[in-house]
């Protein structure tokens, strides 16, 4: 019985790690795509399109993470993060100026930071994962609000956030310290 529970926990941990790695890859790809399309960022419509696709991809990768964590005490926080990403993508339809674009990115980043804070406070996400996400999200919100009149800066900060956040998420996903601990220790730390 114990062995079956341990095998099931190991399988769930691998599925969640895979989902984190996919989300990390999506973030890095978004950031790299933004970096390599830099000459096109002077076209405002292109920035809206890139951000929209980025938010949809982030939402989809987050839904994949939700499916891997379904049934845990953190799954609805993950679903909330996906909803926020899809809402940000949908709200880009109404964007007509750079300030609104920056506001949408900042609101998305702040809501992501709020969700991360709640997961950190409730101890459903380890600090090694939550703190970089929280700090990067707050920094993205502040940077986009400070440069809200410059669409190239807004998209550039979003791209930088995506790359750095993707790298931190990949590092956390590849860290096997928690995965190699006994099941009872993992359960105590994450509950």
Rounded CA gap, 185 and 169, in Å?
A: 22
At residue 145, the pLDDT reads 97
Task: Show contacts of 146-149: CB within 8 Å, 24+ apart.
Answer: 147/102, 148/98, 148/99, 148/102, 148/103, 148/106, 149/98, 149/99, 149/102
At residue 190, the pLDDT reads 40
Q: Give Cβ neighbours of residue 16 (< 8 Å, ≥ 6 apart).
A: 65, 68, 69
At residue 183, the pLDDT reads 33
Q: Give Cβ neighbours of residue 20 (< 8 Å, ≥ 6 apart).
A: 65, 169, 170, 172, 173
What b/e string do you get for 4-15 counting C-beta neighbours within 10 Å, with b at 16 or more? Answer: eeeeeeeeebeb
Is-contact 130 20, C-beta < 8 A? no
Q: What is the pLDDT along the chain (191 residues), one digit of tens a residue?
A: 565 555 555 777 888 899 999 999 999 999 999 999 988 989 999 999 999 999 999 999 999 999 988 888 778 999 999 999 999 999 999 999 999 999 999 999 999 999 999 999 988 888 888 899 999 999 999 999 999 999 999 999 999 999 999 999 999 989 876 544 333 333 334 43
Q: Where are the alpha helices (DSSP H) in 92-150?
A: 98-121, 127-146
Rounded CA gap, 108 and 120, in Å?
A: 18
Is-contact 18 169, C-beta < 8 A? no
At residue 52, the pLDDT reads 96
Please state the domain extents for the chain: 13-186
Is-contact 165 23, C-beta < 8 A? no
At residue 69, the pLDDT reads 87
Is-contact 141 110, C-beta < 8 A? yes
Rounded CA gap, 58 and 78, in Å?
A: 12
At residue 20, the pLDDT reads 92
At residue 191, the pLDDT reads 37
At residue 149, the pLDDT reads 94
Six-digit token string for 86: 């899809």
């Amino acid at each position: 019985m114990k062995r079956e529970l341990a095998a099931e926990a190991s399988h769930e941990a691998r599925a969640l790690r895979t989902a984190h790695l996919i989300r990390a890859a999506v973030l890095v790809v978004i950031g790299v795509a933004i970096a390599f399309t830099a000459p096109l960022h002077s076209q405002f419509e292109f920035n809206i399109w890139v951000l929209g696709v980025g938010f949809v991809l982030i939402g989809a990768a987050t839904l994949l993470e939700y499916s891997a964590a379904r049934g845990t005490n953190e799954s609805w926080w993950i679903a909330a993060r996906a909803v926020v990403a899809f809402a940000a993508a949908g709200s880009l339809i109404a964007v007509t100026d750079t300030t609104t674009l920056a506001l949408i990115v900042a609101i998305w980043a702040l809501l992501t930071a709020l969700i991360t804070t709640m997961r950190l406070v409730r101890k459903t996400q380890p600090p090694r994962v939550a703190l970089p996400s929280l700090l990067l999200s707050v920094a993205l919100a502040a940077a986009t609000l400070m440069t809200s009149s410059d669409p190239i800066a807004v998209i550039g900060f979003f791209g930088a956030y995506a790359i750095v956040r993707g790298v931190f998420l990949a590092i956390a996903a590849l860290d096997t310290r928690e995965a190699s601990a006994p099941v009872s220790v993992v359960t105590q730390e994450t509950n």
